[in-house]
A and B are shown apart, each in its own frame.
Chain A
């Protein structure tokens, strides 16, 4: 195999360098390979569920896996309910924080705040889950009058907190990418600081903020431990307005709670992998949407 023209011009590659370059290339490709293998594995273990369990059962309303009822509808809706509300809570907080850090805060405050926000991302989810179980849940029960504090809302609050660092960082980068000339032009035309931020900078960073939302959502829907600890894990169908203040069971929590003890190769085993496929497809779509908005921003030129 011939080395690339560029390396030829710089002289023959040293063997050590060649080795390392090959190794890095192999590692790089292997990441893609692993994702493919994971998907193949998921498909191999999960697709049988669609043949073993009749569709009316698989998309039914009752999830009693040990008694042959594999209704995934409550789990799917549970995950969506918790994730959507987590994003609704996190979006205003995340964007406001990003705007404050990037546009308003003095330089010294920014230098303190940025690393602090990144520390947030490093808190293990089981710690947050414990915090949620012992402090947040009684608060939700006593203040909001829910029968139990282990509700979809408690989960959404925790998930919002967990997706905030991702959202803030990405939104912050998006604001950073807005050219200085936009701000200068706006201020020169007599707009106030606030008008500049709200009418010029944030709209210009819109696609980046959308990416932040998508990535935060991807983080939220895949989170397991904290959700399992605070949402109560009751596989009830969320219907009606009070569903937010009732327990739910998410797809991730179901897989985590049941995979350990399930008999390999049983319908239940395959059903759990089928849930895994649904999760994989959902996160894939969310990430795809995020990637699309990143590419759209690149293509438009001007920004980045």
Chain B
């Protein structure tokens, strides 16, 4: 009797011990999906799509949606930065390079030396909105004023015609592409030799949600984020290149006509005029694929 019971218990112990093993197996399965998007068994065409970390989530969303409707195509999307993607394009390991900047003169030179004629396709636009609490009377700023705010030389809203309140600076974390873009083009005003950085008082928020919560609640706060992440409870500022104006509010149309100053196009490069499945994929991206763009915080081409 006693022996029986202890044996039953040991059997149960074994079962409990198996659970972590199962979990580990599933964990590995889930891990596989990460880098390359898993391939259907009958995959015939394989396209490598590498480059900009800014674009990587959008590129992944496109690849997943495209492979659902085109099971014969296998798309492998990885990040690593615009430079990585372009380098891969030039040495032939990558068919489509994602880039959040244009190819540099040296890169073009190397391409020509290798007999390649890279083709640039604009796939989406990235605009950054500067947001404040709806209770803040400040409605428009120049790039120089935003830079002065974020380097810490303006610390009260009064200096910008607002209320007598301290300024609380909000930023995305330093690893986000938005952070780097904002630092280089707004805080440093696009000057290459400028070494200024965000003020150490800047609050680095781990998510867009963190920024929107704080901006919604705190009348002192100013933040920035991808236009697609801005929610209606935040007040978007009109931005001008300099004090002569014009002050422009960000929207799909002002971003696409280039009048909103804090925006940049996002590119995909191919090694020559695209053809076959690569061309079909790029056509799909600039056509049907644009429907996915807004959900990831970017501005669609139309």
B189 at the interface (CB under 8 A from A): no
Say whether, besides A148-B203, A148-B218, A133 and B53 are in contact (CB < 8 Å).
Answer: no
Query: Is B174 in contact with A234, judged by CB distance below 8 angstroms?
Result: no
Query: Is B197 in contact with A149, judged by CB distance below 8 angstroms?
Result: no
Q: Bound state CA distance, A237 and B200, in angstroms?
A: 8
Contacts of A233 in B (CB 8 A): 173, 203-206
Q: Bound state CA distance, A232 and B201, in angstroms?
A: 10
Q: Bound state CA distance, A74 and B202, in angstroms?
A: 13
A228 at the interface (CB under 8 A from B): yes
Say whether, besides A257-B204, A261-B53, A137 and B217 are in contact (CB < 8 Å).
Answer: yes
Query: Is B203 in contact with A67, judged by CB distance below 8 angstroms?
Result: no
Query: Is B175 in contact with A262, judged by CB distance below 8 angstroms?
Result: yes
Name A253's closest neighbour in chain B (CB-CB): B206
Contact residue among A147, A247, A257 (Cβ-Cβ distance under 8 Å from B206)? A257
Name which of A58-66, A155-163, A196-204 contacts chain B: A58-66
Query: Is B202 in contact with A234, judged by CB distance below 8 angstroms?
Result: yes
Query: Is B221 in contact with A234, judged by CB distance below 8 angstroms?
Result: no
Query: Is A16 in contact with B200, judged by CB distance below 8 angstroms?
Result: no
B213 at the interface (CB under 8 A from A): yes
Q: Bound state CA distance, A253 and B175, in angstroms?
A: 14
A20 at the interface (CB under 8 A from B): yes
A6 at the interface (CB under 8 A from B): no
Additional A-B contact list (7), CB under 8 Å, known A149-B217, A253-B206: A66-B174, A133-B210, A137-B217, A148-B214, A233-B206, A234-B202, A258-B173
Question: What are 30 A-B contacts defined by CB distance under 8 Å?
Answer: A20-B10, A62-B200, A64-B174, A64-B197, A66-B174, A74-B200, A133-B210, A133-B214, A134-B217, A137-B217, A148-B168, A148-B203, A148-B214, A150-B203, A232-B203, A233-B173, A233-B203, A233-B204, A234-B202, A234-B203, A234-B204, A236-B200, A236-B201, A253-B206, A257-B204, A258-B173, A258-B174, A261-B175, A261-B176, A262-B175
Name A24's closest neighbour in chain B (CB-CB): B13
Instruction: State the Cβ distance, B225 to closest chain A Cβ, in Å.
Output: 16
B220 at the interface (CB under 8 A from A): yes
A219 at the interface (CB under 8 A from B): no
Interface string of A211-237 (1 = CB under 8 A from B): 000000000000000001100111111
Query: Is A65 in contact with B214, judged by CB distance below 8 angstroms?
Result: no
Say whether, besides A147-B220, A258-B174, A229 and B206 are in contact (CB < 8 Å).
Answer: yes
Say whether, besides A133-B210, A147-B166, A229-B206, A66 and B175 are in contact (CB < 8 Å).
Answer: yes
Instruction: State the Cβ distance, A17 to closest chain B Cβ, in Å.
Output: 8
B33 at the interface (CB under 8 A from A): no
Q: Bound state CA distance, A154 and B167, in angstroms?
A: 19
Query: Is B180 in contact with A66, judged by CB distance below 8 angstroms?
Result: yes
Instruction: State the Cβ distance, B10 to closest chain A Cβ, in Å.
Output: 6
Query: Is A229 in contact with B202, judged by CB distance below 8 angstroms?
Result: no
Query: Is B206 in contact with A67, judged by CB distance below 8 angstroms?
Result: no
Contact residue among B10, B168, B197, B217 (Cβ-Cβ distance under 8 Å from A67)? B197
Q: Bound state CA distance, A229 and B179, in angstroms?
A: 18
Contacts of B210 in A (CB 8 A): 133, 229
